[in-house]
């Protein structure tokens, strides 16, 4: 049986809702919906591209903490409040994943808890060559 490791970011929402920033079981890492909040401040207000870049940086950090990297990402799921700005998302996604090419979804949603949030991203990574 593979050990389960939960990773925390320290966000108040983790305890309030009862979730982890990321969960690693064996060679699989699931990263929860990630937003562009850093130290309680939203990065890239009114800028989908900057919010995406911030999120990908945060995702990369938790992957590194879990012994992985962006190259192990096999799926991204992105939720946006306005699909007409898909090109801003696409530009940021390509900057991080153009050579990795994970399976990807882009889904429009009605909104998020904070109305200034434009995007939330989830990631699945499978560590290549990891012993389970």
Question: What is the domain range of residue 47?
Answer: 4-126
Band of the pLDDT at 91, cuts 50, 70, 90? Answer: very high
Element containing residue 54 per DSSP (H, E): helix 48-65
pLDDT digits (tens, 9 = 90+) for 43-79: 999 999 999 999 999 999 999 999 999 999 999 999 9
- Is the overall model pTM greater than 0.85, yes or no? yes
Query: Does 103 reside within a domain?
Result: yes
Query: Does 131 reside within a domain?
Result: no
Residues 6+ apart with CB under 8 A from 54: 36, 38, 43, 44
Residues 6+ apart with CB under 8 A from 51: 35, 36, 42, 43, 44, 117, 118, 119
Query: Does 55 reside within a domain?
Result: yes
Query: Does 61 reside within a domain?
Result: yes
Q: Read off the CATH number of the domain in which 83 is found.
A: 3.30.1330.40
Q: How many domains does the chain have?
A: 1
Query: Does 122 reside within a domain?
Result: yes
The structure tokens listed for 62 are: 């938790």
């Amino acid at each position: 049986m593979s050990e389960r490791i939960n990773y925390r970011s320290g966000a108040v929402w983790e305890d309030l809702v009862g979730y982890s920033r990321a969960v690693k079981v064996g060679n699989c890492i699931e990263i929860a919906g990630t937003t562009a909040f850093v130290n309680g401040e939203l990065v890239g207000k009114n800028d989908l591209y900057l919010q995406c870049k911030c999120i990908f940086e945060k995702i990369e950090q938790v992957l590194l903490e879990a012994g992985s990297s962006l190259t192990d990402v096999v799926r991204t799921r992105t939720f946006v409040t306005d699909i007409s700005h898909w090109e801003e998302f696409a530009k940021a996604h390509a900057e991080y994943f153009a050579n990795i090419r994970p399976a990807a979804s882009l889904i429009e949603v009605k909104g998020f808890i904070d109305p200034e949030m434009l995007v939330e991203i989830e990631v699945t990574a499978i560590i290549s060559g990891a012993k389970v």
